[in-house]
Every structure is written in C-alpha cells, then in structure tokens.
Amino acid sequence: MKIDPTMLDIQTLAPLFAAFEEAGVRLFYVGGCIRNAVMGVAATDIDLTSDALPDQMRRIAQANGIRVVDTGADHGTLTFLLGGKSYEITTFRKDVTTDGRHAEVVFGISLEEDAARRDFTMNALYAEASGQVIDPLDGLADAQARRLCFIGEPQARITEDYLRVLRFFRFWAWYGDPLEGVDAQALAACAALQSGLDRISKERIGAELLKLLAAADPAPALAAMEAAGILGRVLPGASARQVSLLVDLEQGHAPDALRRLACLGGEAAQECLRLSNVQARQVEALRFHGQNTPKALAHGYALGETQGWSSWLLRAAWTEHRVTEAEHETVRRGAQSVCPVSAIDLMSKYQGPVLGTALKCAQDIWIARDMQMTKGEILAHLDGLG
C-alpha cells in the first residue's frame, strides 16, 4: 500500500530523507502517523526511525545545517527542528530487559526487531519517503479493519510495560471498531494483569485516562474497563453508566475530557490522577452545578457559557433528559448577564461573612425570577426575608 506523503509533511522532510540517504543510512516514518494515514485520520505527531546511531544522526544534522536537540539520546532519540516544527527520530531498538515500565534497550539494525518491541500491530507500521508502507507484522490489515491487537502474546506485551493496560483501552476508544467489540484475549490479559498498574505513576495514569476520555466516544471502552475492574482500580467509585448518554447529548460539541471525567464521578480524582489544581477545580465545579443547580440560567451565570453548558449537559445525563437549543441559549444568556445587586449595595446593612451570604441570597432571588428583576425589586425582596 502507498499513502499520500503530503499527509506526512514530506515537503518539509524531503531534504532530511535525502540527507540520510546520502549518508548511507535509512530513514522511515513510523507508528501513529502511518496508522492515522491508513485510517484517514489526521496525524497529530510525525515520528521517524532510522538505522543510524545517535552520533551519526548528529553528524547528518550538522552537515546539513539542521538544528538537533538531544531529547533522549541515551534511548536513541533526537529531535530535529525543521520548518518551524519538531520531529523525533529514534534509532532502531531492541529491548533487553524491562521492569514493567522502563526497558533497557540496545540499538539494532533490524526494522523487524524494532517493530517487535512495539505494543500494537497497528502501531508497528513504517513508510518510506514515497509513502510506500512497510508492514513487518501484518499490522496494515488490522489498521484498515480498525482491529486493535497486541503484538504477539498480550501477557508478554503488558508485563513489559503495565501502562499498556490503559493504552489498550485508550487506543480501542480512538481507533477500534465498536461494532466488532474488544479483543477477548487482550481484555482478559488486561484484567488479569491490572495490579501492575500500581507500579505506574499516577501522573501517567491520569494522562492516559484523559486521552481516552477525549476520544469521540469513549463509552464502550470505559464500560469494558469497568467490567474488568480496571476503572475502579484507577479511580475508585467511578461509574461509566451515564457516559454513553452524555456523549449522545454532546452531539455537535467538541469532546471534553474533563466534562466526561466529571460524569464518571469517583473518589479523590485529583489525588488518583494527579490532576492540576485548575483541572481539579473545573471538575469539582462541573459536578457541583450538575448535581445541585436546577436552572440553566444559573449554570451560565456561575461558570460562563462553555463550562455552564458542560455542567448543564452533565445534569441532563444524570437526570436522563434531552437538551434543547433553547436551553443552550438560556445558558448563554446566563453567562452574559450581570446581577444588578453588588456587594456595595448591601454594605449599609450587612458586614463580614453575613455580607457574602446576603449577596448570594440576592443573586439566588434574581436567578429564581429568570434574571428579570431590578435592583430595587431584589433589595425589597431581600428585606422581606429579613
């Protein structure tokens, strides 16, 4: 098979391929960019591999006036900077030993050995500058069929790197065929070896889960994770039950990993997934308003249009009701509204913590009347409550 090399930045990379060829070494596209091209999906990163050793690659770069950065030279990876973009090139490698996360590697000269150390067959694809695909492990058919398969025995691949348990579900969410379902042997291996995730840093677990949640429809993968006990292991108390409905309600809106994480629920998400403070606050706000705020206006007023709509979608998923464009417009109106009563209007009667309580009460009165009350009407109503 041959793919269109213009999908792979060939205009920028052609001089680099020519430089490697002139030096007597080989250079190939590898991995995700080939998989995506085969599937007709835009590539997010373009990675390359070569039989050249890191020192050889440095000399090629220097001879051709190309800036290069040692991003992982010990593991054979250098980053070449061309046309305002960065491209990682990694020397062919072969694993010698692994501790379940990090491997000791040696540099090799065999593309087949390099392919054998990868995780899934659809990721073990290579291509020449012309776009001609090289398929050492029959991964092309799997990619075309959107069939996610480990290379060799799933147990062996997982024990090399236990993060592959989560990568399996993430790649299935992004690239698998949901109508075909999940590979039963691979799922069983993931379930049996899930305790190995205890060796993986929470930062890496969180990053993988957020990538999974950003897929167009992560619900089938999440359901399989939950059934296998893996979702509860990485995020205790989480439930995938409402995610499918949330995804259905999101039609026409971009996937949002944090909105879907909020839908999952669970305990101590920030600690379990090492979320940033900003991410944790966002998830907490989405959950709070999704669970406790009945008016669409209030969602927009409290969180702004984008996040307010997210929390409204969550509420709809949890209460199992359809959303309308009119509700979206209501959230938008709430986001654009300003309460006519401010703290300065209340200072003559309230001080300290009571002032904050009174202001919140004034805002609640205003929202309850669909934001149609004047300042005087709100203050009069507030006085009547006193």
Instruction: Output the DSSP codes for 210-272.
Output: HHHHTSS--HHHHHHHHHTTHHHHHSTTB--TTHHHHHHHTTTS---HHHHHHHHB-S-HHHH
AA identity, residue 270:
Q
Q: State how far the alpha carbon of 268 is from the alpha carbons of 14, 222, 263, 339, in Å.
A: 49, 18, 14, 34
CA-CA distance, 96 to 113, in Å (whole number)?
A: 11
Expressed in angstroms, the distance from the first to the final Cα of the chain is: 78
What's the pLDDT score for residue 383?
Answer: 82
Contact 284, 276 (CB under 8 A): no
What does the DSSP 8-state code read for residue 193?
T
CA-CA distance, 181 to 295, in Å (whole number)?
A: 39
User: Does the CA dihedral 115-121-127-132 come out positive or negative?
Assistant: positive
What's the pLDDT score for residue 44?
Answer: 80
Q: Which two tokens stand for residue 284?
A: 């907490």
In terms of C-beta density within 10 A (0-12 exposed, 13-18 middle, 19 or more buried), how is residue 372 classed? exposed
What's the pLDDT score for residue 184?
Answer: 94
CA-CA distance, 305 to 297, in Å (whole number)?
A: 10
Residue pointed to by tokens 């209501």: 330
What does the DSSP 8-state code read for residue 45?
-
Q: State how far the alpha carbon of 215 is from the alpha carbons of 59, 92, 212, 306, 361, in Å.
A: 40, 30, 6, 19, 40
Strands 47-50 and 85-91: parallel
How confident is the chain (386 residues) per 10-residue block, as mean pLDDT? Answer: 88 94 96 93 89 94 93 86 92 74 72 92 96 95 95 95 97 92 94 97 97 96 97 97 96 94 95 97 97 94 96 97 95 94 90 91 89 89 78
Contact 35, 143 (CB under 8 A): yes
Residue pointed to by tokens 């398969």: 149
CA-CA distance, 302 to 241, in Å (whole number)?
A: 27
Beta bridge partners of 88: 79
AA identity, residue 183:
D
Which is nearest to 52 in space by CA: 88, 104, 89? Answer: 89
User: Does the CA dihedral 21-25-26-30 come out positive or negative?
Assistant: negative
What's the pLDDT score for residue 382?
Answer: 85
The number of angstroms, rounded, from the C-alpha of 65 to the middle of its chain's C-alpha atoms is 36
What's the pLDDT score for residue 4?
Answer: 87
User: Does the CA dihedral 197-107-78-1 come out positive or negative?
Assistant: negative
What's the pLDDT score for residue 192?
Answer: 98
Where are the alpha helices (H) located in the chain, listed in sequence order?
Answer: 10-22, 32-39, 54-63, 111-116, 139-144, 154-160, 164-175, 184-192, 202-213, 219-227, 230-234, 243-249, 257-264, 269-273, 277-292, 296-319, 325-336, 353-368, 375-385
Q: Which two tokens stand for residue 153?
A: 């025995």
Q: Which two tokens stand for residue 156?
A: 């062996």
